Amino acid sequence: MVTAQSELAIEAQGVARRFGARWVLRGVSIELGPGEIVGLLGANGSGKTTLLRIFGTLLKPTAGTARIYGHDVARETDAVRSELGFLAHTPGLYDDLTARENLRFGAMMLGLPAGNNLDAALERVGLGHVINERVRGFSAGMQRRLAMARLLLRHARVLLLDEPYSNLDTAGIKLMNEIIAEAGAAGGAALVVLHELAPAAGVLDRTITIVNGRVAESKPAPIPRVRLVPGERAAATAGATR
Amino acid sequence: MTTDDLTVQVPRSGGWAAFGVLSIAALIATQVFSFVTSPPDVNMGQLEKIMYVHVPAAWVMFICFAVVLVYSLRFLWKGREEDDLLAAAAAEVGAIFNGLTLILGMIWGKPAWGVWWVWEARLTSTLVLFLVFVGYLALRAFVEDPQRRGQWSAAVGILGALNVPIVWMSVTWWRTLHQMPSTMQDMAKIYWVGMFANFVTMTLVVVYFIRRRYEAAAIVRAAEHAAQAAALGGDE
Amino acid sequence: MQASNWDFVIAAYVVTWVVIVGYLAYSQRALNRARAEYTRVTGHRPGEGEAV
Amino acid sequence: MAFRDDVRRIRAIAWKDLTTERRSKAGFNSVAALAITILVLFGFALGPDAQALRDAAAGALWLSALFAGVLAFNRSYQVELDGGALDQLLQYPGPRWVIYVGKLIANSLFVGLMLVIVVAVGIALFQVRIPKAWPSLIGVFALGAVGLVVLGTFYAAMASRSRAREVLLPLLLFPMLVPVLLAAISATKALLVGDIMHESGAWIKLLGAYDLIFLVATLWAFEYVIEV
């Protein structure tokens, strides 16, 4: 695929964001081409999550522009949103709905056709045995898995993942990496906020480190990405996560 | 969004200080004029002199809230921060004159009606309006993020202004349908001259007030933006 | 009745001017504070040397 | 197509809010219990003279509904704030008014059901005689409830996400609702005594106009309060 300037999957130019008097982002410029998977590193409060939320249309930049496939995140929110798969820090589930009901709600809100196979997604994330149980009783890791199932519902071209590995066990981490690798193989880009590199070994093309609201460095991932053949379904990353 | 959109223009004080002195002098002049020229009323004696401050205060309050409506709409439409600051300045000045209107109404009401408060249509509507804009100012005090504060208070300001005629209508019906006589009397023409003159000069004073509040708010925002620019590395 | 009404008239004008002068003083304080803050941040007074 | 999607989204949100509410019955039950408690307190303040109670019944009914309703409106957003659901909700494509309409439907049913209980209890406690024109009375309750819900749902979108939301919502909402309360109380009062003065019609029209004006205004403005 030719990546012209406008065909960048994720793009930020001088993005700055202020909360009250505090500058959380001070002019961040990054570019991700289609198919590229990038880890976003940085200390607590460095602005990683803020940047992700700006790409996720949840915050407007105070200055600068951010684009998803050429669509301005502040102005063309609807176009941006139809590209996004966003996994926030919190799972964003409804405690009094069951696992399947939560997924069905997501599917309806996404405008997916009825009869989308929700149970298959639940099976895949290992929640097949609790399909009809309420989320209130789920552990943090199970809630995380349910959020992953919701991510699987649509084949988003851009994944924005905020510390996706938190609360996940080894199998869960592996599953998460499979989802990322599949999205990458299908030509989608992913921006993954991390506070440690280990779980994402073999998944990332490169890492970008943010220090105090600015991009401090951008370098290839220490362990190169294990690429899937487009369309191939996972499993290849299994070895890398050990 | 470019950095140009971000800068809040620091308003220049320029001729405004002179404008302020002149408008306050004019207000004093028209008040003295109306105070001296108005003959005592047959029924109310000197009491009607209160009307020269009470009624203009009520009118300028409406002007303030109209400004809130217009600039709130404009802020939502164009997103310029100045419009938000101007709407907020007008809301504060409006609330001050709204409160003044209420107090003057009560001072008038005690000798005229024998009680400090009656649930008369105008007075009651004014009280409701006061509460609406107290809510507006409270909301602004409770929200820190400038964008959120701007959009939320614009919505509250617009709905509040929209509610003014409805409140007025409902309160009036509420009174009249229960056969309460209107307590305000029609006044002779000579009173209107003084009243109108006072209204004009009080409007000038209010314009000056809004402008000062706006200037202070804009300078604060400009200082914040300057601090931002420094934080962003001093680039333009 | 007529004589006592003067109290209320005077009270009304006093209240009006207390509010006007009071608000003037309040807004002056706010303005001074804003200007001081601006000067502290930028090193020059508002309205001066705008072309940064 | 897009419209069909929006209708599905509205249904999804209303269904989600109602299901959540239904499953945590404690929510509705405690709000209804509070409404009844307020009614009882009004009874203490106004009673025990039967005529005095009857005269004040309309006001007591509406104020109880208002105070209890305020809790419902903030609750409606609490579901979204727990566990960051709002972030996810705002992520979905589609217009923002869809979220508002979905919540309006859910809150209308919630407040409507609460009103049924409040009215039933109020009729008994305040010794109200049910008038012949009871269908009009139901109309007044419906229109009044819509006014309550429209502004309550709208203002709660802001108040619930601010500091001091317990005080901010009533502070913003109650003055705005003055026309609804005046109209609903006056019309209810008139209808309870047989509407001798034929004044209820004007009040019902006012209620209808209020509902319409603010429904349109809040539908337009909702995007600006949720999307920030």
Average pLDDT over residues D17-42: 90
Report yes or no: A224 and A202 within 8 Å, Cβ to Cβ: yes
Distance (Å, whole) CA D118 – CA D36: 6
pLDDT tens digits, D157-198: 999 998 887 899 999 999 999 999 999 999 998 888 887 777
Contact (CB<8Å) A110/D88: no
Contact list, A95 vs chain D (CB under 8 Å):
20, 82-83
Place of tokens 């307590």: B183
Report yes or no: D99 and D222 within 8 Å, Cβ to Cβ: yes
| Residue B225: inside a domain | yes
Angle of the D165-176 helix axis to the B121-142 helix axis, nearest 10 = 150
Contact list, D186 vs chain B (CB under 8 Å):
173-174, 177
Report yes or no: A194 and A176 within 8 Å, Cβ to Cβ: no
Written as six digits, the tokens of B127 are: 């009280």
Question: Which residue range is the domain that position B170 belongs to?
Answer: 50-231
Find the angle CA(D72)-CA(D77)-CA(D78) to the nearest 5 degrees. Answer: 85
pLDDT tens digits, D33-73: 999 999 999 999 987 888 888 888 999 999 999 999 898 89
- C27 → closest Cβ in B31, B47, B209: B209
Contact (CB<8Å) D176/B173: no
Written as six digits, the tokens of A78 are: 């609807």
| Residue B7: inside a domain | no
Distance (Å, whole) CA B153 – CA B150: 5
Half-sphere exposure of B122 (CA within 13 A, CB side): 17
Which residue of B7, B78, B144, B232 is the best one to mutate when testing the A interface, meaning the one whose CB has the most A CBs within 10 A?
B232
Report residue A57: phi and psi, to 5°: 65, 15
| Residue D17: inside a domain | no
- B128 → closest Cβ in D175, D183, D225: D175
Average pLDDT over residues A3-15: 77
Residues 6+ apart with CB under 8 A from D111: D65, D69, D72, D145, D148, D149, D152
Total structural domains within chain D: 1
Written as six digits, the tokens of B105 are: 């109404």
Q: How confident is the model at residue A231 (pLDDT cuts 50, 70, 90)?
A: low
Distance (Å, whole) CA B233 – CA B12: 27
Distance (Å, whole) CA A91 – CA A86: 10
Q: What is the predicted pLDDT for the residue at A238?
A: 38
| Residue B25: inside a domain | no
What pairing do the DSSP bridges indicate for beta strands A84-87 and A214-220?
Answer: unpaired
3-state secondary structure (DSSP) of residue C38: helix
Contact list, D5 vs chain A (CB under 8 Å):
111
Q: What is the predicted pLDDT for the residue at C48?
A: 64
C42 vs A41: which has the higher pLDDT: A41
CA distances from D4 to A112, A153, A185 (A): 11, 20, 33
Average pLDDT over residues D125-141: 88
| Residue D6: inside a domain | no
| Residue D165: inside a domain | yes
Written as six digits, the tokens of D61 are: 């009914």
Determine the residue type at A97: L
Report yes or no: B119 and D141 within 8 Å, Cβ to Cβ: no
Report yes or no: A121 and A145 within 8 Å, Cβ to Cβ: no
pLDDT tens digits, B138-176: 999 999 888 899 999 999 999 999 999 999 888 888 876
Average pLDDT over residues D85-112: 93
Q: What is the predicted pLDDT for the residue at B68?
A: 96
Report yes or no: B6 and B236 within 8 Å, Cβ to Cβ: no
Question: What residues pair up with A191 in beta bridges, in sequence order?
Answer: A38, A160
Determine the residue type at D215: L
Q: What is the predicted pLDDT for the residue at B43?
A: 62
Distance (Å, whole) CA B61 – CA B97: 6
Q: Which of B175, B159, B202 is nearest to B58 (CA)?
A: B202
Q: What is the predicted pLDDT for the residue at B91?
A: 96
Report residue B173: phi and psi, to 5°: -60, -40
Report yes or no: A49 and D84 within 8 Å, Cβ to Cβ: no
The chain A residues in contact with chain D (CB within 8 A) are: 53, 56-58, 60, 77-78, 81-82, 84, 86, 88-97, 101, 104-106, 108-111, 134, 143
pLDDT tens digits, A123-163: 999 998 999 999 999 999 999 999 999 998 887 889 999 99
3-state secondary structure (DSSP) of residue B7: coil
Q: What is the predicted pLDDT for the residue at A23?
A: 82
Question: Which residue range is the domain that position D177 belongs to?
Answer: 22-226
Contact (CB<8Å) A27/B147: no
SS (H, E, C) chain A: CCCCHHHCCEEEEEEEEEECCEEEEEEEEEEECCCCEEEEECCCCCCHHHHHHHHCCCCCCCEEEEEECCEECCCCHHHHHCCEEEECCCCCCCCCCEHHHHHHHHHHHHCCCCCCCHHHHHHHCCCHHHCCCEHHHCCHHHHHHHHHHHHHHCCCCEEEEECCCCCCCHHHHHHHHHHHHHHHHCCCEEEEECCCCHHHCCCCCEEEEEECCEEEEEEECCCCCCCCCCCCCCCHHHHHHC
Contact (CB<8Å) B1/A20: no
Report yes or no: B109 and B161 within 8 Å, Cβ to Cβ: no
Report yes or no: B135 and B159 within 8 Å, Cβ to Cβ: no
Report yes or no: D190 and D200 within 8 Å, Cβ to Cβ: yes
Contact list, B93 vs chain C (CB under 8 Å):
23
Q: Which of D175, D170, D179, D167 is nearest to B98 (CA)?
A: D175
- For residue A74, pLDDT over 80 is answered with yes
Average pLDDT over residues C4-30: 90
Residue-by-residue DSSP string for B10-71: PPP-TTHHHHHHHHHHHHHHHHHHHHHHPPPBTTTBGGGGGHHHHHHHHHHHHHHHHHHHHH
Ramachandran category for residue B39: left, alpha or beta (phi over 0 → left; psi -120 to 50 → alpha) = beta
Q: What is the predicted pLDDT for the residue at A232?
A: 58
Cis preceding linkage at B39, omega within 30: no
- Nearest-Cα distance to chain B for A18, in Å, is 8
Distance (Å, whole) CA D60 – CA D54: 10
Contact list, B6 vs chain A (CB under 8 Å):
62-63
The overall average pLDDT reported for chain A is 86
Q: In this complex, is the C-beta atom of B203 within 8 Å of any C-beta atom belonging to chain D?
A: no
Q: In this complex, is the C-beta atom of B3 within 8 Å of any C-beta atom belonging to chain C?
A: no
Q: Which of D61, D193, D190 is nearest to D116 (CA)?
A: D61
Distance of CA A43 to the CA centre of its chain: 19
| Residue B236: inside a domain | no
Q: Do chains C and D touch (3 or more CB pairs under 8 A)?
A: no
- For residue A237, pLDDT over 70 is answered with no
Determine the residue type at A239: G
Contact list, A100 vs chain D (CB under 8 Å):
none
Q: How confident is the model at residue B5 (pLDDT cuts 50, 70, 90)?
A: very low
Q: How confident is the model at residue A52 (pLDDT cuts 50, 70, 90)?
A: very high
Report yes or no: D97 and D223 within 8 Å, Cβ to Cβ: yes
Q: What is the predicted pLDDT for the residue at A1?
A: 43
Contact (CB<8Å) D84/A58: no
| Residue B196: inside a domain | yes
Which residue of D11, D75, D91 is the best one to mutate when testing the A interface, meaning the one whose CB has the most A CBs within 10 A?
D91
The chain B residue lying nearest C22, using CA atoms, is B96
Residue-by-residue DSSP string for B74-142: HHHHH--HHHHHHHHHHHHHHHHHHHHHHHHHHHHHHHHHSSS----HHHHHHHHHHHHHHHHHHHHHH
Q: What is the predicted pLDDT for the residue at B150?
A: 94
| Residue D14: inside a domain | no
Place of tokens 């957003």: D77
CA distances from D29 to A88, A97, D43, D126 (A): 33, 19, 21, 22
| Residue B122: inside a domain | yes
Report residue D74: phi and psi, to 5°: -65, -35
Q: What is the predicted pLDDT for the residue at A233?
A: 58
The overall average pLDDT reported for chain B is 84
Residues 6+ apart with CB under 8 A from D21: D27, D28, D75, D106, D110
Q: Do chains D and B touch (3 or more CB pairs under 8 A)?
A: yes
Report yes or no: B212 and C27 within 8 Å, Cβ to Cβ: yes
CA distances from B62 to B75, B125, B165, D61, D175 (A): 20, 12, 11, 34, 17
Distance (Å, whole) CA D163 – CA A115: 42
Total structural domains within chain B: 1
Written as six digits, the tokens of A122 are: 């639940």
Average pLDDT over residues B215-232: 82
| Residue D100: inside a domain | yes
| Residue D220: inside a domain | yes
Contact (CB<8Å) A21/B224: yes
Residues 6+ apart with CB under 8 A from D33: none
Q: What was the ipTM of the complex prediction?
A: 0.87
pLDDT tens digits, B12-36: 777 888 898 899 999 998 888 888 8
Q: Which of A46, A3, A7 is nearest to A217 (CA)?
A: A46
What pairing do the DSSP bridges indicate for beta strands A71-72 and A22-32?
Answer: unpaired
